[in-house]
Amino acid sequence: MTTPEVKGWCPGAHRPMMSGDGLVVRIRPRFARLSREQVLGLCDLAMRFGTGFLDLTNRANLQLRGLKPEDHEAVLHSLGALDLLDADPRLESRRNILVSPFWESGDDTYHLTQALLAALGEMPEMPAKVGFAVDTGVAPVLTTAPADFRFERSEQGLILRADGAEKGREVSQEDAIPALFEVIDWFNARRGPERRRMAAVVAQEALPSAWQAVPPRASAPVPALGAHPLGVLFGAGFGQIDAAALKDSLLASGAVALRVTPWREFLLEGAKAGFQAPFITTQDDPLLRAHACAGAPSCPQATVETRALAAQLAQTLCGDPAGGVHVSGCAKGCALPRAAALTLVGRDGAFDLVLNGAPWDTPVQRGLTPAQCRDVKYPDALQL
């Protein structure tokens, strides 16, 4: 059996990752927003150097895939000219900041994100995948997205919550960053090779009582696709956005910017009301019930093709789209690193079946062919 290699880091712009279809370069948009000019430039890069698609990740980043190594320097230069990366690779790698995409200029989310960006250079070293969430709208919307340190809103005001803890510490705009440095020091003093994320540390170590004082407000549901006060929300099957279609839509809609989310949705900010685009537009679209990584041959860790099977299975599913089906090329579960109603995990060219679990959980069946997967009966799998 082939064991997937856990890299322990994500591909950045300065430090791309080689995959089966070429280099993967990740772009971390500041404030979860790209200006019109940045979007147009990024679409051109995807079409000129990559696969012609932009991948939207579960950290609300965008990825270019399929780059040739000899083109990396030219892509870096273009990203720099578009102001889509930091010149300092160290700062760029630290900018793992999830931002609620529905912020408005001058609100708490905007100011906290500004302060966090300014503080990155002074932060202690932490494991590469450690990240932050600035989720201080009326109610949290990023609770299912990966982050270790979460700025949220309680009934009383702002809080800073360690991931894995049910409650957090009350903070203000003025003391939010000093409080963050304090909990970072607590985390760094207790983490280790097997505990590289905050939730793993919190599961085994008790936080000081001051950090478990105030609960956040209840999470809000993910907004429905369609008209939004800031523009129009669209969905992207498997997080893939056709760059040519996005460019055309941006120009035709009158949108002034693109806002990215960790839910495989994106918002065309300022798009005219009722604008139609060739993306997912309804919440009941079957592709929103399907999760799949790039799979083979695009990823060298995968031994199976993934997305065609996931799309076929989605057509037969009913029930909650958030539960859905996950077809993972290997046991790492990059597309959905948590439980799904039905998970198929690639292993040595075949699939293992996990019900109501994650890719690394114990399967109920092993060694299934794609044809057998399409015939799987799972009446108990949709209770998630």
- What is the three-class DSSP state of 85? coil
- Asked, for residue 384, whether it belongs to a domain, the answer is no
- Per the structure, the count of domains in the chain is 3
Whichever domain contains 341, its CATH number is: 3.30.413.10
Same domain flag for 125 and 172? yes
Q: What is the pLDDT of residues 255-266, one digit of tens each?
A: 999 999 999 999
Same domain flag for 197 and 259? no
Same domain flag for 200 and 108? yes
Write the DSSP string, 250-266. Answer: HHHHT--EEEE-SSSEE
Same domain flag for 74 and 108? no
CA distance 359 to 327: 9
Amino acid at 340: A
CB atoms within 10 A of CB 316: 13
Q: What is the pLDDT of residue 68?
A: 95
Residue bearing the bigger pLDDT, 283 or 346:
346
What are the residues whose beta carbons fall under 8 Å from the beta carbon of 225, sequence distance 6 or more?
Answer: 233, 234, 235, 265, 280, 281, 282, 283
Q: Taking 70 as the threshold, does the pLDDT of residue 122 lie above it?
A: yes
Q: What percent of the chain has pLDDT over 70?
A: 93
- Asked, for residue 238, whether it belongs to a domain, the answer is yes
Q: Taking 80 as the threshold, does the pLDDT of residue 9 lie above it?
A: no
Residue bearing the bigger pLDDT, 194 or 99:
99
Residue bearing the bigger pLDDT, 322 or 20:
20
Give ∠ CA 185-187-190 in degrees, rounded to 5: 110
Same domain flag for 122 and 153? yes
* Residues comprising the chain, all counted: 384
- Asked, for residue 41, whether it belongs to a domain, the answer is yes
Same domain flag for 109 and 202? yes
Same domain flag for 229 and 312? no
Q: Taking 70 as the threshold, does the pLDDT of residue 60 lie above it?
A: yes
Same domain flag for 303 and 362? yes
Q: What is the pLDDT of residue 323?
A: 57
- Asked, for residue 365, whether it belongs to a domain, the answer is yes
Confidence band, pLDDT 50/70/90 cuts, at residue 242: very high
Q: What is the pLDDT of residue 146?
A: 93
Judged by average pLDDT, the poorest of 3-17, 141-155, 284-298, 359-373 is 3-17
Across the range 367-377, mean pLDDT stands at 87
- Asked, for residue 279, whether it belongs to a domain, the answer is no
- Asked, for residue 12, whether it belongs to a domain, the answer is no
Same domain flag for 119 and 188? yes
- Asked, for residue 217, whether it belongs to a domain, the answer is no
Same domain flag for 46 and 81? yes
Q: What is the pLDDT of residues 24-51, one digit of tens each?
A: 999 999 999 999 999 999 999 999 999 9
Q: What is the pLDDT of residue 286?
A: 87
- Asked, for residue 123, whether it belongs to a domain, the answer is yes
Same domain flag for 348 and 290? yes
Chain mean pLDDT for the chain? 91
Across the range 269-295, mean pLDDT stands at 91
Across the range 210-229, mean pLDDT stands at 95
What pTM was computed for the model? 0.90
Q: Where a domain ends, among 269, 304, 339?
A: 269
Domain residues for the domain of 246 are 17-90+223-269
Q: What separation in angstroms does the CA of 273 have from each of 206, 228, 231, 235, 261?
A: 50, 9, 7, 17, 20
Confidence band, pLDDT 50/70/90 cuts, at residue 273: confident
Confidence band, pLDDT 50/70/90 cuts, at residue 319: very low
Same domain flag for 43 and 114? no
Confidence band, pLDDT 50/70/90 cuts, at residue 377: low
Whichever domain contains 62, its CATH number is: 3.90.480.10
Q: What is the pLDDT of residues 168-216, one digit of tens each?
A: 999 999 999 999 999 999 999 999 999 999 999 999 999 999 999 999 9
